[in-house]
Amino acid sequence: MPDSRYVDAEISRLSADDPPDTDLIGKYQALSQQLKTIQTLTDEQAQLKAEIRQYPQRQEALNTQIQQVRSLDLFNIASLRGYDDLSRRLAGLRAAVSDWRATVKTNADNLKQLEASRLTLPKEIAALNSQIDDVVLSNNGDKNALPQWLALANRQHLMLEKGLLILKQQSLDAREAVLKLEQQLLSTRIQLASPIRITLQNRLAQVEQDSARALIEQATELESLYGGDGSGDASGEGSEGTETGSDMDADTRKDIASSQKLAKELEHVLVDIEKTRRKSQQFEMERQLLSDEQRLIKDNLAWLRQSTAFGASLRAQLQRLPQRIGDTNVPDAIAQSHIRIYEISQMRTRIATEQATSPVPTEAALAADPQLNARYHVHTFRGQLLVRLGEEYDKLIVELGRLQVVKTVSGGNRQRARFLA
């Protein structure tokens, strides 16, 4: 049988004839296609054989990973303390869990296909045997070269396809064993990641809260240090406080009152962030539980439907699932947070403009003028509060967005679970 280069050369030569023999060209083109398919199947066989030879090592490696799963770098969080380290590790862990869950789903589908292959592969191999016999019988007496080449190419194609299916059949147990080990490893990782992620979130929240609490305490200290009662009275009356506070100008009083309000707002935003994170955790746990139950139901749906008593009970439970999930005000909360970030940015712009047009007082000037000292420190601190408050609103928007995604996915799972009934 000729190689591909000879066949392609013949196609080019015949195509140059005038008029070209289209029937003969078509046969050579069919032979060319068969030769390409033969090469593809040969490569697939070689690749599958190489994979089969690697199965024992893969099983050993997976068993080792399962035994040492707790030593995964992602799970080593004992030394993490700072906000950046904690947030990076939390983001990495979330991404890893998402990938692991996607792989678990893919592997589950592959295991189903392997199980189905135990029934389909013998039938496909038998069908190919029949086709191979037909090719040999129908072309046995034909002495013309091209028809013989076509028959030989077709037979070789079928033989390679049969060999590939036999390899797949022989390696079913090994492939299934590897997939099950991968599932065990991934499931263990996901199970271990859940409490670690909660610990990271709690540590991160604590770091954020400690830092913000320092600002909140500083706002209270400023109010006590520079007098004023924190009421925001711009007239300068009714505030005795310290010696500096008694003569404090109206703008400084306004800044102290504004700082007090911003500090309280910062405290509320921190609480909202923590509440949103906990809601996301709750919905994520419910979503995963429902997803696992739904997969189990799907896998056993035929049996469940045949069981009258159990099937009726199951359908009743699924129908009782709520069609919609509460907390529908998440989009409104996101919108309000964006509006507040815009308002904060406007205040920061005004502060920046004022600072650009006013000279920075020297240490000597601040020491000589108590009112200037109070005004400068209160004004500077208010700017710091605005920066931090804007950052916390950004974090709140991220957490609200994550909550909205988890809720949407969880709601979709609930609807699909109801449809199973």
Cα distances from 76 to residues 193, 346, 391, 420, in angstroms, run 11, 42, 28, 41
- pLDDT, tens digit (0-9, with 9 covering 90-100), for 43-79: 999 999 999 999 999 999 999 999 999 999 999 999 9
- pLDDT, tens digit (0-9, with 9 covering 90-100), for 302-327: 555 555 555 566 556 555 554 444 45
CB 277 within 8 A of CB 205: yes
Q: How far apart, in whole angstroms, are the C-alpha atoms of residue 222 and residue 217? A: 9
- pLDDT, tens digit (0-9, with 9 covering 90-100), for 93-152: 999 999 999 999 999 999 999 999 999 999 999 999 999 888 754 545 555 688 888 888
Instruction: Give the global pTM.
Output: 0.66
Sequence-ordered list of residues with C-beta below 8 angstroms from that of 286, at least 6 positions apart, any chain = 410
Cis ω before 2 (30° cut-off from 0): no
In a structure prediction context, what are the per-residue pLDDT tens digits for the chain, which is 421 residues long?
788 899 889 889 888 888 888 899 999 999 999 999 999 999 999 999 999 999 999 999 999 999 999 999 999 999 998 889 999 999 999 999 999 999 999 999 999 999 999 999 999 999 999 998 887 545 455 556 888 888 889 999 999 999 999 999 999 999 999 999 999 999 999 999 989 998 998 898 888 888 888 888 888 887 777 655 444 443 333 333 444 444 567 778 888 888 889 988 998 998 898 889 888 888 877 777 777 666 666 666 555 555 555 556 655 655 555 444 445 588 899 999 999 999 999 999 988 888 777 777 877 877 777 777 777 888 888 888 999 999 999 999 999 998 888 888 766 655 555 555 4
Q: How far apart, in whole angstroms, are the C-alpha atoms of residue 95 and residue 193? A: 11
